[in-house]
Chains A and B, each alone.
Chain A
Amino acid sequence: MIKVDNIKKHFGKEEILKGISTTFERGKTNLVIGRSGSGKTVMLKCMVGLFEPNSGEIYFEDKEMSLMNNEEHRILREETGMLFQGGALFDSMNIEDNVMFPLRMFSDKKRPEMLERVNEVLKRVDLENVNKKFPSEISGGMNKRVSIARAIVNNPKYLFCDEPNSGLDPRTATLIDQLIQDITKENNITTVVVTHDMNSVMEIGEKIVFLKNGSLVWQGNNQEIFKTDNTDVTDFVYSSDLFKKIRDIQLNEQ
């Protein structure tokens, strides 16, 4: 469980996060949605420690992040996996070495043991026979899968995904969403996904947090989001023609 309590973040005079409080539950895919510039990624980066909030607290289980000592921070890092928007695979390493990297850094396992685990997670993300390829030699969808494999190779307790579907075709995007949800359930991980993809909201949004201009304006799940009368949320949800048509059909049927 991750609890965010009244976090604020500003860059210079610009206030990006204006006191956000929410909880992300274990074993669920928690989505943070909102328009571009709403503060989603900044919030995610505060949670993974890339940005330090100007005020407020972030709790991992019952431990407040800023009060953790070095050893607790190290353990938290080992328990954290992250899928970056562009994959962030190390382009000087092949796929096998990319996925093996967290194991090499944090475990004392011998190479054959590590290789066994690498092959296991690559198989889990439906990637086989790509071990010796380099990130530049694989497709965008495969890149995201490798990135997921690297994020989960150390059996993390927390998985953070920044726009996992960006740049992918709808079919691959759905597969990636499904993979994230399956992994969350199998390993009972607390997963936080930042997205503005409504398909993801429909598919995997067990808990949804909606941000607007750095403030949390609504939270619920993927059933409730279509019933809410919060105009900020409905403006976002029905901004695409497809969802407008679905809503019109539903209204006609009623």
Chain B
Amino acid sequence: MKYLGDIGSYFLMLKKVFSSPTKRSVMKELIFKEIDDLIINSLWIVSFISFFVGGVIAIQTALNLENPLIPKTLIGFATRQSIILEFAPTFMSIIMAGKVGSFITSSIGSMRVTEQIDALEVMGINSLNYLVFPKIIAMLFYPFVIAIAMFLGIFGGFLAGVYGGFASATDFTAGLQDTFYPFHLVYAFIKTFLFAFILATVPSWQGYYMKGGALEVGKASTNSFVWTSVLIILTNYIVTQLLLS
């Protein structure tokens, strides 16, 4: 019953997020601030992880090619497919659930504990619109982060594959171009948009409706990571089933 209640409260929150809008000039500033906090501040860690994981995927694929009949182009092909289809959109989103999700939950949760949300409500401001709406809009830029993750992942794979001596630049590039379906990118970005919405709203819900003090803010952040990850994985399965099977 508690889960049903939680689901209901999440959707009621979404309804309130999109009602009674905050003054436009204030909202514009909030959106820019959230883009800086959620998107720009995530670029470094996303770039770092993507580059090295791309390299590892290329090396792992190369080391598992024992049969001499399998062409070396497979290294580039496997790197591209792994990164575009799963690593960049899905697993990067789970990493972001830890970084961005915890940040959102703890910042909103701290505002709840210190009565800052009550202060907004007393002033007649729709606190959910003020706090959550700019995060949703900022996360519309999340696909750009994932595009960078895709590029750097493949680039990392290329450098590791070619300069590690596992494949020639020609073979790797041929693998990258082999049986490329543009729809795979469409699929990746469709799910990225869905993950972005989950990343903005589920941690906000956890932070907004938390009760208690500083300890509970920590617990809410942990719950936020768990539930965001679970929802991303479930959404990934459903979208894959619907679009690729």
Chain A residues engaging chain B, CB cutoff 8 angstroms: 45, 48-50, 73-74, 76-78, 80, 82, 84-86, 88-91, 101-102, 104-105, 160
Contacts and interface: CB of A to CB of B under 8 A. Distances in A.
Given A77-B124, A82-B119, 19 more contacts: A45-B118, A48-B122, A49-B121, A50-B118, A73-B124, A74-B124, A77-B122, A77-B123, A80-B124, A82-B122, A90-B111, A91-B114, A91-B116, A104-B23, A104-B25, A104-B26, A105-B22, A105-B26, A105-B125
Nearest to A154: B123
Interface of B: 22-23, 25-26, 110-111, 114-116, 118-119, 121-125
A105 B119 contact: no
Nearest to A85: B115
Nearest to B121: A50
A90 B110 CA distance: 10
B209 to A, nearest CB: 15
A235 to B, nearest CB: 30
B26 to A, nearest CB: 6
Indicate the member of B22, B23, B116, B123 with the most A CB atoms within 10 Å: B123
Nearest to B25: A104
A104 B28 CA distance: 13
14 contacts: A45-B118, A48-B122, A49-B121, A49-B122, A50-B118, A76-B124, A77-B123, A80-B122, A82-B122, A85-B115, A86-B115, A88-B116, A90-B116, A91-B114
A105 B118 contact: no
Contacts of B26: 104-105
Contacts of B119: 82, 84, 88, 90
Ordered nearest first, which 9 A-B pairs have the shortest CB separation?
A77-B124, A88-B115, A88-B119, A84-B115, A82-B122, A48-B122, A88-B116, A74-B124, A50-B118
